Amino acid sequence: MAELATPDGALVKGMGRTLVYGFAAHFTVALVNVLATPFLLRLLGEEAYGLVAFFSMLQAWVLLFDFGVSPALARQLSHYRVGALSADEAARLFAAAEIIFVGVGLVAGAALMLSAPWVGAHWLRRASLSAVELNGSLRLIAVLLVCRWLCGLYQAALVGLERQTQSNCVLAASVVVRYAVAVATLQLASPHPTTFFAIQAAFTLAEAITCRLLLIRALPLKPAGASPGWRLLAAERRFALGLALAAAAATLIGQVDKLALSHALSLPAYGLFGLVAQVTAGVGLVVPPFVQVFQPRLTGLLAQGRRAEFVHVYRAAAALILSLAAALAGTIAAQPAWVIWAWTGRADAAARLAPVLTLYASGAAIAAFLFAPFLLQYAQGRVRLHVIGNVGFAVVWAPAAVWAAFTIGPIGTGAVWLCGNLLYLIAWAPLIHARLLSPEERRGLNLSLWVRGAILAGLLAATRLLPVGPLSRLEALAALGVISLTIGLIGVALSSDARAFVRHGFGEAAP
């Protein structure tokens, strides 16, 4: 399956450019975070920066309250875009989803604001931060979480409509402005965590309003007097609840270690560990552009009955995700000390965090690739295996991670994270391919992915043997860039599906 659908590659025209735009936006987000973190760490201090890490962890836990609504909405809006759902139904469906999100967001935000004194007194182990500032920061975090919650719904809807470029531009602009204003204000006026979170909340609210305005322009208005599409949303309940259960398990898998460490470690130590968590989260930025580009296209192809083209596009997606996960996360895992040193300029932090970062980045590379079989299940509306796999993983992973956090610390949770993801990959991804693809459709797929993955892993391991002396921060950054780019290009070159996508994916968009 070296070609994509047709000899001229008409099927994937436009997808390549959308993918580049998505990567540009997410690269901007990652770059801003990379550049802002050393300043925030210096201006706020390790203890207050621990609150930033705490917010990042809570943001992931909030996804538990999605109940599968946003992915179900995005899937149905993909059907609307290809004519399989009427304009009236699409408008009413969005209205129902928005009512749910606003209601849940307000309740969850109020609960966190009311519980802020208890969290500050009994969960977080503060050192020098005052109780007033800690509680004020936690209340602002509650407001910020509600704003980010609404952004998630609106961005999912834009992705379903294949308005990824607009969504990504708003996201990138919001991140640039809010971090630039935050750093400048902390530097010049008020170096306090409450200042930082107030600025973040204000600009995130503006981001949510902007995304909603874009949706109003892209979707037809709900007919006057028409009720929200509760029945349409209920029709997706099995799909939505399956994804909700899988998301709950995924949250346990990705965040229970960070939650346990937030209590096991002092707030300053947790702030330092937050650097590892942020780097690992940055690896996840490989995934959203692929999901945004391939998810609606795969869903639309199946809605149109174009099974052969669907398989071709899926194989290209799997190959590209593997290549870029190896290029980004693999490089970080291979040279963790260079990453921390180039980023923060702190040799002590680089030495302390390097072993932990190797474990977490290696596990993150595997977790990023596992989005490929998820795309296969999502597009077909058959998420049963995804739910079973995630729940089974979480049942084993969660107690092991909590035990490791309190008995060993971050190095223990990192080892459990890597081993868990590796076992999941070996046991579950081939099963998903076997259940959802015919023997002809999956011919050579699993073997080729394993072979390419082994080659890339071997090349990355070999970089640790390079006879390189002490590097300046700029030299370390340049070396990381060269390794990452080389691995990515080799990964693409090893896959005929990925090469075909690169050849054909930059023409005019397919209808």
311-345 pLDDT, tens digit per residue, is: 888 888 888 888 988 998 999 999 999 999 988 88
Answer whether residue 1 shows pLDDT above 70. no
Asked whether residue 240 is assigned to any structural domain, the reply reads yes
Helix (H) or strand (E) holding 182: helix 164-188
253: in domain: yes
User: How many angstroms separate the Cα of 8 from the Cα of each of 3, 4, 12?
Assistant: 9, 8, 10
pLDDT at 226: 60
Instruction: Tell whether the model's pLDDT for residue 129 goes beyond 90.
Output: no
Confidence of residue 495 (pLDDT cuts 50, 70, 90): confident
Residue 58 identity (one-letter amino acid): L
- State residue 7's pLDDT score: 37
Segment holding 111, helix H or strand E: helix 87-118
Say if 509 falls within a structural domain: no
Residue 447: band (very low, low, confident or very high) from pLDDT cuts 50, 70, 90: confident
**Stretch 235-253: mean pLDDT, rounded?**
73
Residue 261's φ and ψ, nearest 5 degrees, are -65, -30
Of 291, 305, 304, which is closest to residue 368 (Cα–Cα)? 291
**pLDDT of amino acid 5:** 43
What sign does the dihedral 451-456-461-463 (CA atoms) show? positive
| Rounded mean pLDDT, 12-34 | 71
Average pLDDT for residues 480-497, to the nearest whole number? 90
Nearest Cα neighbor of 159 from 60, 71, 283, 241 is 71
Q: Which residue has the higher pLDDT, 378 or 326?
A: 326
Length of the chain in terms of residues written: 511
Is 48's pLDDT higher than 80? yes
- What is the structure's pLDDT at 358? 94
Is 181 or 234 the better-scoring residue by pLDDT? Answer: 181
In 339-441 the beta strands, taken as DSSP E runs, fall at none
At 138-195, the pLDDT tens digits run 999 999 999 998 988 898 888 888 787 788 888 889 989 999 999 999 988 878 889 9
Between residues 127 and 477, the one the model is more confident about: 477
Measure the CA–CA gap between 273 and 270, rounded to whole angstroms. 5
Per residue in 185-207, pLDDT (tens digit) is: 998 887 888 999 999 999 999 99
In 168-263, beta strands by DSSP E: none
Task: Decide if pLDDT at 302 tops 60.
Answer: yes
The model's confidence at residue 64, banded by pLDDT at 50, 70 and 90, is confident
Higher-scoring residue by pLDDT: 384, 330: 330
> Mean per-residue pLDDT for 459-486?
88
Single-letter residue type at 447: L
- Mean pLDDT rounded to a whole number for the chain: 82
Looking at residue 334, its pLDDT comes to: 93
Please state the domain count of the chain: 1
Q: What pLDDT shows up at residue 414?
A: 93
Residue 191 belongs to domain spanning: 10-465+483-504
Band of residue 286 on the pLDDT scale cut at 50, 70, 90: low
Does residue 196 sit within a domain?
A: yes
Q: Does 474 fall in a domain? A: no
Percent of the chain clearing pLDDT 70 (strictly above): 90
pLDDT bin (cut points 50, 70, 90) of residue 511 is very low
The tens digit of pLDDT for each residue in 258-285 reads 889 988 888 888 888 888 888 887 777 6
Cα angle 329, 330, 336 (rounded to 5 degrees) comes to: 80
Global confidence as pTM: 0.70
Q: What average pLDDT score do residues 82-97 get? A: 80
Single-letter residue type at 146: V
Measured between alpha carbons, how far is 73 from 404 in angstroms, rounded to an integer? 38
Is residue 511, in this structure, part of any structural domain at all? no
Q: Are 66 and 247 in contact (CB under 8 A)?
A: yes
Residue 369 has pLDDT above 70, yes or no: yes
pLDDT band at 69 (very low <50, low <70, confident <90, very high): confident
Q: What is the pLDDT of residue 227?
A: 67
Structure-token match 């208005």, residue found = 221
Is 90 exceeded by the pLDDT of residue 483?
yes
Task: Please state the rounded mean pLDDT for residues 456-485.
Answer: 88
Average pLDDT for residues 463-486, to the nearest whole number? 87
Task: Determine the Cα–Cα distance for residues 386 and 258; give it in Å rounded to an integer.
Answer: 23
470 within a domain of the structure (yes/no): no
In a domain, 149, yes or no: yes
Count CB neighbours of 263 within 10 A: 14
The residue that leads in pLDDT, 119 or 386, is: 119
User: Are the beta carbons of 457 and 422 closer than 8 angstroms?
Assistant: no
Model confidence at 508, in pLDDT bands (50, 70, 90)?
very low
pLDDT at 105 exceeding the cut of 70? yes
Q: Is 90 exceeded by the pLDDT of residue 484?
A: yes
What is the pLDDT, as a whole number, of residue 11?
52
The model's confidence at residue 507, banded by pLDDT at 50, 70 and 90, is: very low
C-alpha to C-alpha distance for 457 and 487, rounded to whole angstroms: 9
Higher-confidence residue: 392 or 234? Answer: 392
Integer Cα distance of 219 and 210 in angstroms: 14
pLDDT at 2 over 70: no
- pLDDT computed for residue 332 by the predictor: 93
Three-state secondary structure of 290-353? HHHHHHHHHHHHHHCCCHHHHHHHHHHHHHHHHHHHHHHHHHHHHCHHHHHHHHHCCHHHHHHH
Q: What is the pLDDT of residue 371?
A: 83
Instruction: Give the mean pLDDT of 422-448.
Output: 85
Greater model confidence, 498 or 484: 484
